[in-house]
Amino acid sequence: MVLVTGAAGQIAYSLLYSIGNGSVFGKDQPIILVLLDITPMMSVLNGVLMELQDCALPLLKDVIATDEEEVAFKDLDVAVLVGSMPRREGMERKDLLRANVKIFKSQGAALEKYAKKSVKVIVVGNPANTNCLTAAKSAPSIPKENFSCLTRLDHNRAKSQIALKLGVTADDVKNVIIWGNHSSTQYPDVNHAKVKLQGKEVGVYEALKNDSWLKGEFITTVQQRGAAVIKARKLSSAMSAAKAISDHIRDIWFGTPEGEFVSMGVISDGNSYGIPDDLLYSFPVVIKNKTWKFVEGLPINDFSREKMDLTAKELTEEKEAAFEFLSSA
């Protein structure tokens, strides 16, 4: 049982086919898809339901479209929480936070009440890190390690920027890291990244020999890529977001390749990088048997330290604001 929320939206429209055709959970895993959205979107959602039926996907055993949490969250194995309150013009970040705390408190409580305790929860709706923490806090009997938020899109953006600069494919670049918040304070770090050139693996800094680009334009390009897409398309990233969600879930399900790590927002408890506990922060992780572990022992230079602390500070402030709303919500 797989739930996608915000299922009438454009990210879901790009995502649902990938889930249904087996490219996320494997080609031999039958799926029941549950689609949740708000009541005013039910007519659009029924159109999406019709299209999924019309795809005639052999693995898709059933599709349920609903606007009720008690239907949507029942017996779930995986919940992909894409739906959130988008930021409207003239809206303060804290207003956005308040609206989303309400949504994710309610969905966390629904997970607690109806879903399997082994459910894996992936939060995409922004502000993703803090929404994820809110949901986890509202579902105390589900292990907090089961909650993660999407920073894979940033990870993939970083990977592709390096590949473009070196004239290789994205597949030849591995072990980039996104530290921190899925916001413009995130820190894309390639100090530990490797690239395959002429058949051998080289460090990215060594391969590029362009430190000023790596410490400047590269970082800001990745941090602001979402805004650049909106400016160009007049819509936010959907195809690339859906691809990143698929990558994120597939890695949870099947594990990360040997010698490779990926970025995801996870609970910071027990990390060895000096990030405060009880934050939902993006780290480099390896995954095996559906369980993630921090990549330990990476040396952190002063440049990185400052950027990692800056995004931790923003997350701490977001968390404090959210928890104020949480207690009053």
As a dihedral over the C-alpha atoms of residue 292, residue 73, residue 69, residue 128, rounded to 10 degrees, the angle is: 10
**Is 125 annotated as a binding-site member?**
yes
Read off the pLDDT of residues 103-123 as tens digits, 9 standing for 90 and up.
999 999 999 999 999 999 999
CA–CA distance, 119 with 122 (Å, rounded to integer): 10
**Angle at Cα 23 formed by Cα 17 and Cα 28, nearest 5°?**
110
Which tokens sit at 119?
């459910």
- Which residue ranges form the domains of the chain, and what is each CATH number? 2-149 (3.40.50.720), 151-317 (3.90.110.10)
**Is 88 annotated as a binding-site member?**
no
Catalytic residue among 155, 182, 192, 248: 182
**Is 4 annotated as a binding-site member?**
no
Model pLDDT, residue 329 = 57
**Is 100 annotated as a binding-site member?**
yes
User: Which ranges of the chain have pLDDT less than 50?
Assistant: none
Whether a cis peptide bond, with omega within 30° of 0, leads into 127 is: yes
Model pLDDT, residue 75 = 97
Q: Is 248 a catalytic residue?
A: no
Q: From residue 150, give the alpha-carbon distance in Å to each of 266, 314, 328.
A: 9, 17, 27
Residue type, 219: I
